[in-house]
Structure 1
């Protein structure tokens, strides 16, 4: 029998998979959707940008709500809402309607990750936090792989709309299981039960503005978000156009080669993050920084117009190495931010990564014709190196002081870190 902290982790694992499957399914059905709606590459880029920018703008506000109200209920209502929107996406008849629904999806999904990340932090202490959040990351990436491949296969055989209906229906079914698996953590207590009053947005932002390590994490997320969303949005089309793949194969190859190998990296990274944190919690930032830097050079080989076999090899290697740092991201937030501000912090983190990612998706759509996707992908290696350097700056110069300050703040307010 699973303990309650791990039952929560299991529910969030499945919800995370649906969260990312629903948002990325569009990238695997671009050719038939483009033909059906008469959309251009730039309009597809705008659709991706609208989701990411809306998600980015809403995330800080969504995060602060999860610091003030029940995190488990916010997770549930976010799941229900984005599932309904996903079903509606399968009914679109125009590019404008697609724009509206991608905007709505950005708002609905923005409530999930800040609440879910902080909820895991409430249920899991430093000894298991890396593994629990790594498990959650596995769900996110499983959703990317299955969502992209399933949507592509269904589009190939039954039309592009069916995938959205199936994914949305699965989300509504999952919501029915929430009463048996999902609950708020012991750190989320009402004032009458000995907890502290919910934090206002002003209090959270005032505190976070004085945390240099968090600033480095934000900048790193922005830089890495540009490269990540370029790959997620355009890699299936790259395989279809350059290697003559059908939709199902291109969707599977595009998402699986970029995100499939991360399961190995995340499994290793979650264990390594907790192991290193037992000796020095700053080590989580070191792991994340080095994972970016070491993985980056492999992607530069895109510029040479490589064969599919070489592309597959370098994607697998780089994805595994980069994924080792993923389970450390939200635990770093938990180390340098007190419990009552963590949802807001994760919301702001989503904002920075998603807003930058929206720019990347749009720019790739604009410059695709002149530069080619292979050059755009190759240039991302330099982007990842910069993201890694920013994390090393936090490790060397600011994280120790920020951790001490967060621990003292949590102790003074009666909350366990």
Structure 2
């Protein structure tokens, strides 16, 4: 995936024992990004395809809607539980090899879903998919962070995270097309083989790390006993965790309830509601990339702007979504407001993990992203759908959807607080001897 040029041996001597880090070519770094993105895409396709099989599972096994919902929830639970310990293991071992293992785990688990003989076996296989994703997201993000310069990290993180909503779109659309023709078992197993192949390719990826010291050399995995404690000592990181989670409360609400809103308020068929909801998901994916890039550009002018931009955009999303659900009548204007709000509410997805990696020791970056994953799943993705359902039972779905964007105000406050300490706690690549990306 591209050639690289060696650093002079003198740098290795200045940095202490160990081989010198070779700077990466842009081609190599971009090639690894494409590989990581493609693997993440298969993960979310495997994760979301289960929704298309619900009618078939209900008919064949007689399961309840609650049991069907548990097939989705169990993935988020295992992601949250496994994120921090598995990410810590990746920091101590090898991020690239960890990705290969985790990708293999969820690909084999997807095959196991297709072979499940009863509901309990299917739940267990779905839980294993979550275990694989728990390790992959943090390790993949940390690996990419070491391959791209600091000024591009929010852009890269946002683009990497965009695999989630795009995979969800493909999972829902392709699942709906395949399940009628191929059956639910083949549908669930269809992307497991490509996922396994992509995972094994990571065995050939070089894992570049910073030393965590002034020297330049191939870094040893972090073994500092206080490493995990640093994740909570950095005030910027703690505020960013909370801000990002509150944004995801709103985003997960939209992903879960927009199809129901469209069927109830617009009289759409399930198929049409799913197709229109896919447009909203694509808008969120675009927002993740575009707004992450905007935050990076603003951060190049002044570092704290990397957090100020998503804080301001959180308030914009609050305005757009509240106007769309509370005041606009059903019709094109309302749909446009909701699409714009769905685009804008993703502004923190890229900057939050990028900023967290900027304020912790490079040797525990995967662990830091594990903490991001834990907080975002437990206090973001798991909260939105359930709380919205409760509000919908009490006040109706339109009212519930109008109230949920209030979490954007909390996100804006948390991100603003993080911006006030970010510049003081910022660790630059130069401070840690990170492997540079070669200019040509």
TM-score, structure 2 length as denominator? 0.82
Look up the match of 1:281: 303
C-alpha spacing 1:376/1:150, structure 2 compared with 1 (3 Å)? farther
1:232 aligned partner? 255
Instruction: Report if aligned partners of 2:239, 2:415 keep a CA contact under 8 Å in 1.
Output: yes
1:339 — aligned with what? 362
Shift of 1:402: 1.6
Give the CA deviation at 1:111.
Answer: 0.5
Q: Which residue of 1 aligns with 2:29?
A: 5
For residues 223-257 of structure 1, the C-alpha deviation after alignment (integer angstroms, 9 at most, x for no partner) is 23333323333434544565555554443332x23
- Shift of residue 400 of structure 1? 2.1
Partner of 1:354: 377
Matches within 5 A, 1:376-415: 376-396=400-420, 398-403=421-426, 406-407=427-428, 411=431
Q: Is the 8 A contact 1:114 1:344 kept in 2?
A: yes
Q: How many angstroms does 1:382 deviate by? A: 0.7
CA contact (8 A) 2:388 2:404 kept: no
- Mapped to 2, the partners of 1:61 and 1:134 lie a distance apart of 24
- 1:18 has 2:26 as partner: no
Given candidates 201, 206, 217, the residue that maps to 2:240 is 217
* In the alignment, structure 1 residue 38 sits paired with structure 2 residue 39: no
In the TM superposition, what whole-angstrom CA distance separates every residue of 1:366-394 from its partner, at most 9, and x where no partner exists?
66555444333322211122112210111
Is 1:136 aligned to 2:169, yes or no? Answer: no
CA deviation after TM superposition for structure 1 residue 296, in Å: 2.0
Structure with higher helix content: 1
TM-score, L = length of structure 1 = 0.86
What SS is found at the alignment partner of 1:184? coil
Residues 115-154 of structure 1 aligned to structure 2 (within 5 Å): 115-154=139-178
Partner of 2:345: 322
Contact kept, 8 Å, 1:27 with 1:233, in 2: the verdict is no
> How far 1:38 sits from its partner (Å)?
2.8
Contact 1:37–1:95 (CA<8 Å) still a contact in 2?
yes
Tell me whether 1:296 sits opposite 2:338 in the alignment: no
Q: Which range moved further: 122-131 or 37-46? A: 37-46
Which structure 2 segments of 5+ residues have no match? 3-25
Q: Take 2:188 and 2:45, find their aligned partners in 1: how far apart are those partners?
A: 9
How many residue pairs match? The answer is: 409
State the alpha-carbon separation in 1 of the partners of residues 383 and 342 from structure 2. Answer: 22
Are 1:313 and 2:313 an aligned pair? no
Deviation (angstroms), 1:179: 5.1
* Aligned mates of 1:115, 1:83 — CA distance in 2: 17
Q: Which moved more, 1:341-350 or 1:273-282?
A: 273-282
SS at match of 2:207: coil
Q: 1:324 to 1:257 in 2, by over 3 A?
A: same
Of 132-141 and 152-161, the range deviating more from structure 2: 152-161
